[in-house]
Amino acid sequence: MNKTLKIDKPPTTLFRRYEKVIGVFVKYGFEDLIAHPPFNRLIPKSKKLVPFRDGRSVFSYTRYERMRMVCEELGTTFIKFAQIASNRPDVLPVELIEEVTKFQDNALPVPTKAIQKTLNNAYDRPLEEIFESIDYNPIASASMAQVHRAILIGGKEVALKVQRPNIDQTIQLDIQILRSLANFVENNLPQFASFQPRELVKMFEKSILKELNFTIEAANLLRFQKHFKGNNEIYVPSVYPEFSSEKVLCMEFIHGFKITDLEQLENIGLTGKEVALRGINLYFQQVFDHGFFHADPHPGNIFVMVDKKICFVDYGMMGTVVESDKTLLANLLLSVHDRDVVGLKKALLKFGRDVSNIDEKELEYDIREFFSNYSEITLEQIDGDEVIAALNSLFFEYKIKVPSNLLLLLKALVIIEGVGLMIDPKYDLIKNIEPFVRRLIERKYSPKLLTKKAIKALGDLSKLSSKLPEEIDDLIEKLRQGKLQIEVAHKGLEGIQGTMEVISNRISFTLVLVALILGSSIVVLADVPPKMNGIPALGFFGFLISGFFALRLLISIWRHGKF
């Protein structure tokens, strides 16, 4: 029996937010999601289905388009939830993920007084003692924060990223509602349970709380700066931790232009092809050399400076890749590059966390079909975005659960390829990523690294050998005192256990049968009376019973097909 979610008199603010959320769901034709208790009690009577949007019937839009519209109308939390959830192509269908990419993160500016209040709360001294001036007209305004230009005492120009007032409270309320909806969907709507809403909400909460804390972004920036120290092709902005807090980030103001501004590139003597190659090679260095990468590399977050250096901004969403995951990704991309069916199958299965129920033969057929789409074209003509989208479809179809950091990376690679194609239409992601991938594979099997691993293994063996005598003494002592306990757990042996019982029963039955035949033979040879037609009666009946039992045993074996 399915359990319904209980909502016990929510606080007024939460109740009103529930009412707003449910009203928007009704408005866009999702009554099936909220037509059950307890949500149906919260449907505002004044909220009815709006039959048209932009001159079209609501139902002329696909279900996924209407999902996007719901998120857009409900604002920051739901937009961010959809964007973060779109990093799970193993859970969500491609059509829904494509809709999510249409979101525009623009928002109306926050009033000056509200920004001043946030800044005053962030510092323990007056703003006049920290800044010479602050421009309260934002240079960028997004759903979670907006950016202002300011000048520190001493003349240093900085960018202040200021969190929107009360956005953290709104997000906390919406997370409660999302949890309620996720629980209800998994318990009552099996057709949507495959989207794993509880897991998506959990992943969203973890990610959004990090983005809300600007001290984490400051730490990300410092780490990124350390990785690229001494690299003359990239510029990493300075951050001022002493003037930063959870709600305010103070960093160096960057004078530059978007990487996709071809006219400005030409003015400083750069071609789109040069910038694409340099910028995306810097991105591959983040992934394969440092294992710490910018997870949202869209054109608005990559600038080119007058001295031709490339600068990444907005370090709120970063990804990490451990060495083993780098190798997984390298094997997958090399298999795509080499069109290796078996190699790609193995790579996909290693990507997943639970692949026990996957039909490997069927997967191999689908991979062959995947490669057949590219059999008549050259590597240079392959669209990397299309390749990764096809891989994501395989993840979704076979429910291959991939670690979120790797999915985040695959999505980032799609974005970075899009940037490359904007400035160089002939840019080839697969071709340009290959040297980094091969270098990673070579590094993994380099004599130096293998020697290092061997030395570590010898060290571990040495530690084990030094502890072994003591461990053996403890074992012998427990054995001597009768305190040694061994627990054996068997799994999947029920069938074998039943077979063994049948075998042991038949062996016992056969032994009894043999004993009966031998006994009867001895009685006949001993010529023990009474007799029947000159044959000892006891021996005769013994042979008769033995024959019956032998016939029964043969029939039993024959029936079970194990003759």
- Burial of 153 per CB tally in 10 Å (0-12, 13-18, 19+): exposed
Question: Among the three residues 458, 486, 514, which one is the final residue of a domain in this structure?
Answer: 486
Q: In terms of domains, do 375 and 514 share one? A: no
Task: Say which amino acid occupies 188.
Answer: N
* 141 within a domain of the structure (yes/no): no
Q: In terms of domains, do 378 and 507 share one? A: no
* Residues 433, 337: Cα–Cα separation, whole Å: 10
* Residues 456, 282: Cα–Cα separation, whole Å: 32
CA atoms in the 13 A half-sphere facing the CB of 35? 8
Q: In terms of domains, do 316 and 349 share one? A: yes
- In the 8-state DSSP scheme, what is residue 295? S
Would you say 187 and 3 are in contact if contact means Cβ atoms under 8 Å apart? yes
* 504 within a domain of the structure (yes/no): yes
Our count of domains for the chain comes to 4
* Residues 456, 62: Cα–Cα separation, whole Å: 57
- Burial of 456 per CB tally in 10 Å (0-12, 13-18, 19+): exposed
Tokens, residue 423:
């400035």
Q: In terms of domains, do 33 and 74 share one? A: yes
- Burial of 399 per CB tally in 10 Å (0-12, 13-18, 19+): middle
Neighbours of 523 (CB within 10 A): 19
| pLDDT single digits (tens) 61-98 | 888 888 888 888 888 888 888 877 776 666 677 778 77
* 243 within a domain of the structure (yes/no): no
Q: Which helix (H) or strand (E) holds 341?
A: helix 341-351
Q: In terms of domains, do 462 and 545 share one? A: no
Residue 27's pLDDT is what? 81
- In the 8-state DSSP scheme, what is residue 4? P
* 73 within a domain of the structure (yes/no): yes
Residue 213's pLDDT is what? 92
Q: Which helix (H) or strand (E) holds 243?
A: none
Place of tokens 């016990």: 8
Would you say 34 and 20 are in contact if contact means Cβ atoms under 8 Å apart? no
Would you say 430 and 339 are in contact if contact means Cβ atoms under 8 Å apart? no
Task: Say which amino acid occupies 455.
Answer: I
Tokens, residue 295:
């997870």
Q: In terms of domains, do 174 and 45 share one? A: yes
- Burial of 428 per CB tally in 10 Å (0-12, 13-18, 19+): buried
- In the 8-state DSSP scheme, what is residue 316? S
Residue 50's pLDDT is what? 52
Would you say 103 and 68 are in contact if contact means Cβ atoms under 8 Å apart? yes
* 547 within a domain of the structure (yes/no): yes
Domain that holds residue 511: 496-559
Place of tokens 């991938």: 437
Q: In terms of domains, do 293 and 440 share one? A: yes
Q: In terms of domains, do 465 and 504 share one? A: no
Q: In terms of domains, do 439 and 452 share one? A: no
Would you say 295 and 412 are in contact if contact means Cβ atoms under 8 Å apart? yes
Q: Which residues of the chain have pLDDT under 50?
A: 1-10, 42, 46-49, 563
* 293 within a domain of the structure (yes/no): yes
Phi then psi dihedrals of residue 53, to 5 deg: -145, 130
Question: Among the three residues 131, 156, 185, which one is the final residue of a domain in this structure?
Answer: 185
* 481 within a domain of the structure (yes/no): yes
Angle value at C-alpha 287, between 283 and 292, nearest 5 degrees: 105
- Burial of 276 per CB tally in 10 Å (0-12, 13-18, 19+): buried
* 315 within a domain of the structure (yes/no): yes
Q: In terms of domains, do 296 and 417 share one? A: yes
Q: Three-state SS for 2? A: coil
Q: In terms of domains, do 436 and 478 share one? A: no
Q: In terms of domains, do 404 and 538 share one? A: no
Place of tokens 């029964």: 552
Residue 456's pLDDT is what? 58
